[in-house]
Amino acid sequence: MKIKDLAGTSFPELSAQLDGASSQIEVAGITADSRHVQPGDLFVAVSGTKANGTSYIVDALARGAVAVVAESGVKPDGSSAPVLSLGNPRAFLARAAAAFYGRQPETMVAVTGTAGKTSVASFTRQIWAHSGLAAAMIGTTGVVAPGRNDYGSLTTPDPVSLHKLLAELADAGVTHAAMEASSHGLDQSRLDGVKLSAAAFTNLGRDHMDYHPTVEHYMASKMRLFEALLPKGAPAVVFADDQWSEQAIAAARKAKLDVRTVGRKGEFISLKRVEHFRHKQSAEVHVGDDIFEIHIPLAGDFQVANALVAAGLAISTGISAKAAFSALEKLQGASGRLELVGQTRDGALAYVDYAHKPDALENVLASVRPFTTGRVIVVFGCGGDRDKGKRPIMGEIATRLADVVIVTDDNPRSEVPEVIRSEIMAAAPGATEIGDRAEAIRAAVGMLTSGDTLIVAGKGHEEGQTVGSVTLPFSDHAEVRKALGGL
Ligand SMILES: CC(=O)N[C@H]1[C@@H](OP(=O)(O)OP(=O)(O)OC[C@H]2O[C@@H](n3ccc(=O)[nH]c3=O)[C@H](O)[C@@H]2O)O[C@H](CO)[C@@H](O)[C@@H]1O[C@H](C)C(=O)N[C@@H](C)C(=O)N[C@H](CCC(=O)O)C(=O)O
Ligand SMILES: Nc1ncnc2c1ncn2[C@@H]1O[C@H](COP(=O)(O)OP(=O)(O)OP(=O)(O)O)[C@@H](O)[C@H]1O
Ligand SMILES: N[C@H](CCC[C@H](N)C(=O)O)C(=O)O
Ligand SMILES: [Mg+2]
């Protein structure tokens, strides 16, 4: 593909720099990482949190890049390959990747919010699949599509991987795809160029305060989904019962979207009555004049909200309300989201959950309390190189809502694990500290007696524990099973 075709009409400042010869340069691939440049590639230099791609232009050219796109002010170094500049290289990277790979599933939706994105994306895929559509999901747990189940790493992949993936899915016949839009992904323009038919907002709580300077910046990043990515008139599904719902609704209205609220205060799907059971949730919802009784075979009060948002997205992309709600009865939970892993002989239940932020921990502990006749026992830690402010908050929540708290490690990364734990422990009087996560799980399982509920929180579907720069194989599921087996 030629550079001028990658730029399209969205970047006139770039087109203006292309002369006869440079506009004809054929690009064999696109990358923002000089270490991945192959001869013939276009290198896009973006500035990041650790490095600035402009420092690697020389490296990229030495590896055979045929052209470079960088931020304004970067001077050509006299190389024969053109070094073009524009205001927002990240936005260009995403649009160029979209143009380069070309194909996407016809119907794409994206969901943002602090909690529930993976669950909503997974449920939306399942509702579509239940109606016989070839459907996929892309998110924290990876990629799920007909005949495909890949473990993932980022919630929203980088734009080059994302568009390569979308083209693969479209080529494999996938017509519908639901993806997660993280605030990092939105802020870094990773989703620019994805052709969305609808989008959704779940809720906003404390998260990623290491990356976003303020909660307003965090919310504004999320609202890029409505303001910058969703075309005017497209459906915006908003969970109506969150503290931030009003702001999300206002942003969607301002962006001239077709706002569709769901929840108790919802007008599109209106929740009239809900009953929470230990392993399932039942509800009555109204859609227009129709009344539906829905049954969600999953633990966790919060799954009702996620199911309504997913149903809102499915209905907004052509599924009938009846089909969407009947699909909910067959839902499988996303891996590691309040997932029942096993039980002791006398019936104490052990769950693995991905709560690694305050609201999620609060929700999950509150969810199991009504069904626990004995003690709620929680094992959790906080990730290193991530928001330090959440550590005492989560310590306080665990102490307030659980009867037994064991503080352990969760991906210490480059930090000293003892320091992370001590920051949680400072707000968790009476908690036990056991750094080794497997040992912490064994200790918790060992103390289970009839009526108790164990929540191992923070890692969910993860298959590794990152200590320093090494990721060691580790699975909460496997450790819980092993500990239960040893009883
Ligand atoms: C903080 C953050 O979001 N970082 C992401 C970002 O990296 P960055 O732009 O900051 O990279 P950088 O290291 O500063 O380098 C700047 C540029 O120089 C380039 N470079 C660097 C070195 C070199 O030799 N040559 C070279 O060209 C890099 O490729 C990069 O393009 O862009 C990279 C490519 O897209 C991501 O891999 C990287 O994710 C890191 C690994 C990460 O941990 N991200 C997490 C925090 C994240 O994105 N999480 C969200 C939310 C999770 C959730 O709660 O669900 C997610 O969507 O997963
Ligand atoms: N609607 C919700 N409201 C509050 N908490 C929720 C909700 N949905 C899920 N949770 C909690 O958050 C955890 C993560 O859920 P999920 O993976 O669906 O969210 P996510 O937004 O994708 O999270 P992440 O940003 O970490 O990928 C769950 O394990 C549960 O503890
Ligand atoms: N996508 C999130 C996941 C955090 C999961 C938790 N286990 C941790 O390592 O903090 C992040 O990278 O911040
Ligand atoms: Mg997720």
For residues 14 and 291, the model is more confident at: 291
Residue owning tokens 């969607």: 252
Name the closest-CA residue to atom 3, ligand 3.
Answer: 356
The percentage of residues in the chain with a pLDDT greater than 90, rounded to a whole number, is: 85
Kindly provide the residue ranges of all beta strands, DSSP E only, lying in 189-289, ordered along the sequence: 196-201, 235-239, 258-263, 269-276, 281-287
Cα–ligand 4 centroid distance for 140 (angstroms): 4
Cα–ligand 1 centroid distance for 48 (angstroms): 7
Tens-digit pLDDT profile for residues 447-477: 999 999 999 999 999 999 999 999 999 999 9
Q: Helices marked H in 131-227 — which ranges?
A: 159-171, 183-187, 215-224
On the question of pLDDT at 83 being above 80, the answer is yes
Specify whether the CB–CB gap between 479 and 441 falls below 8 A.
Answer: yes
On the question of pLDDT at 22 being above 90, the answer is no
- What is the rounded average pLDDT for all residues in the chain? 94
On the question of pLDDT at 75 being above 80, the answer is no
- CB proximity list for 137: less than 8 A, separation 6 or greater: 121, 122, 124, 125, 143, 144, 145, 177, 178, 179
Cα–ligand 4 centroid distance for 40 (angstroms): 35
Tens-digit pLDDT profile for residues 398-453: 999 999 999 999 999 999 999 999 999 999 999 999 999 999 999 999 999 999 99
What is the per-residue burial (b if ≥16 Cβ within 10 Å, else e) of 33-64? ebeebeeebbbbbbeeeeeebbebbeebbebe
- Complex prediction ipTM: 0.94
- Which of 356, 393, 474, 476 is the best mutation target for the ligand 3 pocket, counting ligand atoms within 8 Å of the beta carbon and taking the most? 356
Q: Given the CA of residue 382, which atom of ligand 3 is nearest to it?
A: 10
| pLDDT the model gives residue 74 | 79
The percentage of residues in the chain with a pLDDT greater than 70, rounded to a whole number, is: 99
On the question of pLDDT at 175 being above 70, the answer is yes
| Reported confidence tier of residue 49, pLDDT bands at 50, 70, 90 | confident
119: annotated binding-site residue? yes
What is the per-residue burial (b if ≥16 Cβ within 10 Å, else e) of 453-474? bbbbbbbbbbeebbbeeeeeeb
| pLDDT the model gives residue 218 | 85
Q: Given the CA of residue 383, which atom of ligand 3 is nearest to it?
A: 10
On the question of pLDDT at 8 being above 90, the answer is no
Q: Which residues pair with 109 in a beta bridge?
A: 178, 198
> Is any ligand 1 atom within 6 A of the Cβ of residue 35?
yes
Name the closest-CA residue to atom 15, ligand 2.
Answer: 116
| pLDDT the model gives residue 76 | 64
On the question of pLDDT at 264 being above 80, the answer is yes
> Is any ligand 3 atom within 6 A of the Cβ of residue 410?
yes
Q: Given the CA of residue 43, which atom of ligand 1 is nearest to it?
A: 27
| Reported confidence tier of residue 10, pLDDT bands at 50, 70, 90 | confident
Q: What does the alpha-carbon distance between residue 324 and residue 335 come to, in Å, rounded to a whole number? A: 21
DSSP-derived letter for residue 231 is P
Q: How many CB atoms lie within 10 A of CB 401?
A: 20
On the question of pLDDT at 375 being above 80, the answer is yes
| pLDDT the model gives residue 77 | 63
- CB proximity list for 222: less than 8 A, separation 6 or greater: 112, 113, 181, 183, 186, 201, 204, 248
Q: What does the alpha-carbon distance between residue 298 and residue 304 come to, in Å, rounded to a whole number? A: 9
Residues, the chain? 487
Q: Given the CA of residue 466, which atom of ligand 3 is nearest to it?
A: 9
On the question of pLDDT at 212 being above 90, the answer is no
For residues 419 and 205, the model is more confident at: 419
Predicted TM-score of the model (pTM):
0.94
> Is any ligand 3 atom within 6 A of the Cβ of residue 461?
no
On the question of pLDDT at 38 being above 90, the answer is yes
Closest of 41, 40, 15 to residue 30, by C-alpha: 41
Q: What does the alpha-carbon distance between residue 2 and residue 10 come to, in Å, rounded to a whole number? A: 15
Lowest-confidence segment of 83-92, 120-129, 191-200 by average pLDDT: 83-92
- CB proximity list for 414: less than 8 A, separation 6 or greater: 384, 385, 468, 469
Q: Given the CA of residue 185, which atom of ligand 1 is nearest to it?
A: 57
Q: What does the alpha-carbon distance between residue 186 and residue 113 come to, in Å, rounded to a whole number? A: 11
132 exposure class (CB count in 10 Å sphere: 0-12, 13-18, 19+): exposed
> Is any ligand 2 atom within 6 A of the Cβ of residue 187?
no
> Is any ligand 1 atom within 6 A of the Cβ of residue 158?
yes
Q: Which two tokens stand for residue 56?
A: 């690697």
Ligand nearest to the CA of 390: 3
- Which of 184, 186, 337, 359 is the best mutation target for the ligand 1 pocket, counting ligand atoms within 8 Å of the beta carbon and taking the most? 184
Cα–ligand 1 centroid distance for 294 (angstroms): 41
Name the closest-CA residue to atom 36, ligand 1.
Answer: 158
Cα–ligand 2 centroid distance for 46 (angstroms): 30
